[in-house]
Amino acid sequence: MGTMRTYDREARGSVALLAARLTEAAALGQAAALDRIQQVAAHGVRQAAAAAVASLSRALELLWQRGWLPAEAVSAVPRQLAVLVVAAIGHEVRRYPAARLHPVWRAQLAELDTAPLDLAEPLEPALRRVVDLVGALMALPQLPRLVPGPCEATAESDGPAVDPRVMIKVRGLLAKAESTPFAAEAEALSAKAQELMARYAFEQAVRTADEPQLAAARRVWLDAPYQAPKAQLVDAVASANRCRSVFYPRLGCVGLVGHETDLEITELLVTSLATQSTRAMAHAPGRTRAYRHAFLVAYAHRVHQRLTEAATHARPTSTALLTALASRQAAVDAKFTALYPGIRTHRPTATNPSGWTAGLAAADLADLHPHRRVAS
C-alpha cells in the first residue's frame, strides 16, 4: 500500500506539472506551444487527458474570480471553441454544490447543453484545442462581479424574482407574436406583453416600497456587426425603464443595472426593438456599411426620443409610486457607481445621410405605444 500511495502522489504531481505546461503553452508563441504540447502528449493519453482537464479547470476557476459567468464564457470565446468550453464548464461545475450556487448561476448552467469532456480525437490536435481555449480564457479581462461566484455564498438573489405566472403570460404572448405571419397581430401581441410587464413593475414598486430596495446587474451580449449602435439602442431602452447601462466595445456586451423587474422589461423591449430594426433594415435600400451603421444609430436616436416622450406622458401621479421609484433609483445609482466607477460617455456617430433618414423613419414605425394601440 505504501508503494501505491507513493505512485499516486507521483502521478498527481506529474499531472499537475503537465497541466502547468499546457497553461504555459497558452501564453507562448506557436512554436514554443507546440513543443510543450508534444512534451505532454509523450506521457500518453491518460496522463495528457488528466492534464488537459486540470488546465481547463484552473483557467475557468480564475475566470470566475475575474467576475465572469458561465454563459458569458461561451459567448466570449471563438465559435470553434464553444463546444469544448461548454463541456469544460459542465465538467468543472460538478464540483460545486448546487445549494451554494447563486440563482443566476443555476439558471445559466441549466441552459447549457453540456456533453462529456472527451478528448477522443487524435491526442496532439485535441491538446492544441485545449491550449487555444485556455489562451482565450486567460485573455478575457476583469469584469465587475454581478453575483457571488460558485461556493462563495448561499444562493440569494438581488431582489424578488418576477412572478412566474406573469412571465408565463408574457412568454406566451411573445411566442404567439413570433409565430404569426401578420405584422399587425405580432405588434399587438408584443405590445400586450410589454403592457403587462410595465403594469406589474409599477404595482410591485408600490407593494414593496417599505422594504429595502436592491438593485441587480446583468450583461447583454450583442451580435456583430454594428455593436456600437446596437448598444445605443440598449441604452435608450434601459434609461426609459429606470436602468443604467455601460458598453464594453472590445467584448461586444452591455452592462445593465436596475431593479430586477425593470431589467426584465428592458431585455424584452430590447429584443423586440432589435428584431424590428433588423427587419426594417433588411427592407431599406442601402447596403453599404456606412448606410447600415447610420441607419441603426438613427434608429436608436429616435427610439430614445420616443421612449422619453412616452415616459413623460406616462409620468405617475401617485405619491406612493413616485416615492417608491425614487428609492429604487437611488439604489440603482449606488450600485452602478460601485460597479462602474469613472466611466466615460460616448455616442456613436453616423456619416451617411440617407441611412440616417431611413433609420429615423423606421423608428417612427416601431411599436412603442402599447396602451394607445390596445385601446383602439
Name the more confident of 203 and 348: 203
Q: Are 135 and 84 within 8 A, CB to CB?
A: no
Q: Which domain holds residue 170?
A: 164-375
Q: Is the predicted pLDDT of residue 76 greater than 60, yes or no?
A: yes
For the question of whether the overall pTM of this predicted structure is more than 0.85, the answer is no
Asked if 135 and 168 sit in the same domain, the reply is no
Tell me, yes or no, whether 325 and 369 share the same domain: yes
Looking at the fold, whether 169 and 78 belong to one and the same domain comes out as: no
159 is a domain residue: no
Both 216 and 324 in a single domain? yes
The answer, yes or no, to whether residue 52 has pLDDT greater than 90, is yes
Residues 179 and 313 in one domain: yes
Residue 290 in domain: yes
Domain presence at residue 116: yes
- Say if 21 falls within a structural domain: yes
Q: Give the C-alpha separation, 186 to 177, whole Å.
A: 4
- Sorted by sequence, the CB contacts under 8 Å of residue 103 that are 6+ apart come out as 155, 157, 161
**Would the pLDDT of 212 be above 90?**
no
- Residue 26 reports pLDDT greater than 60: yes
Give me the pLDDT at residue 240, please: 82
Residues 168 and 208 in one domain: yes
- Residues 253, 314, single domain; the answer is yes
Cβ neighbours around 24 below 10 Å, total: 15
Banded pLDDT at 277 (limits 50, 70, 90): confident
Question: In this structure, are 176 and 80 located in the same domain?
Answer: no
**Claim to verify: residue 286 and residue 211 sit in the same structural domain:** yes
Distance from C-alpha of 260 to C-alpha of 107, rounded to nearest angstrom: 15
Q: How many Cβ atoms sit within 10 Å of the Cβ of residue 223?
A: 10
Q: Which residues pair with 254 in a beta bridge?
A: 220, 247
Is residue 127 included in any domain, yes or no? yes
Among 139, 172, 207, give the residue marking a domain's end: 139
Query: Which strands form 216-221's sheet, in the order they lie side by side?
Result: 216-221, 253-258, 244-248
Q: Is residue 362 part of a domain?
A: yes
For 316, residues 6+ apart whose C-beta sits below 8 A from its C-beta are 202, 322, 325
The answer to whether residues 254 and 235 touch, using CB atoms and an 8 Å cutoff, is yes
Given this model, what pLDDT does residue 196 score?
78
- The pLDDT value given to residue 371: 42
Q: What is the mean pLDDT of the chain?
A: 82
pLDDT at residue 2, rounded to an integer = 42
CB 146 within 8 A of CB 218: yes
Give mean pLDDT, residues 260-272. 87
pLDDT band at 271 (very low <50, low <70, confident <90, very high): confident
Same domain membership, residue 47 and residue 190? no
Q: Give a yes or no: residue 239 inside a domain.
A: yes
CB under 8 Å to 164, separation ≥6 — which residues?
A: none
pLDDT of 83: 92
Rounded to an integer, what distance in angstroms lies between the CA atom of residue 305 and that of residue 218? Answer: 24
Using pLDDT thresholds of 50, 70 and 90, give the confidence band for residue 164: confident
Domain count, the chain: 2
111 and 228 both lie in a single domain: no
**Is 293:226 a contact under the CB 8 Å cutoff?**
yes
**Is there a single domain that holds both residue 122 and residue 171?**
no
Q: pLDDT class for 186, splitting at 50, 70, 90?
A: low
pLDDT band at 373 (very low <50, low <70, confident <90, very high): very low
Q: For the residues 35-44, what does the mean pLDDT come to?
A: 91
pLDDT tens-digit readout, 117-133: 877 678 999 999 999 99
What percent of the chain is predicted at pLDDT more than 90? 42
**Cell triple for residue 147?**
453575483
